[in-house]
Amino acid sequence: MALLESGEMYLETIYVLSQSSSHVRAIDVGDYMNFSKPSVSRAIGLLKKDGLVVTDESGGLKLTEAGEKKAKSIYERHTVLTKLFIGLGVDEETAVNDACRIEHYISDKTFEAVKAHLAKYGSES
């Protein structure tokens, strides 16, 4: 299933927040992303419909197996691309922002080539 960039950003945010807290609420996602409650509610509803997120008994958001797989993939793209850009001499803030935009559009083939390059040569080319 192809997710829109916004859906991928929500998945990545839930994943990132779940790394530091066992209870991720919709309000936490909204605060992290600086989005309104209605926007978050709509997006979470779509992710639930797609089988990527569920709500636990206390109202916390949990990624399903498919949701976690997708979120990890997006997060990996973000971290690898950020590392690459910083290694190229880009300042951290710009590298993070550019990686965030590119992670949603880079092809699997190109991303695998980037990872292979970093594995072979490190982040400094």
**Domains present along the chain, CATH in parentheses:** 5-69 (1.10.10.10), 72-121 (1.10.60)
Q: Are 112 and 81 in contact (CB under 8 A)?
A: no
Model pLDDT, residue 124: 56
| Tens digit of each residue's pLDDT (9 = 90 or more) over 50-81 | 999 999 988 899 999 999 999 999 999 999 99
Q: How confident is the model at residue 90 (pLDDT cuts 50, 70, 90)?
A: very high
- pTM across the whole model: 0.85
CA 86 from chain centre, in angstroms, equals 19
Determine the pLDDT at residue 3.
Answer: 66
Query: Does pLDDT of 100 surpass 80?
Result: yes
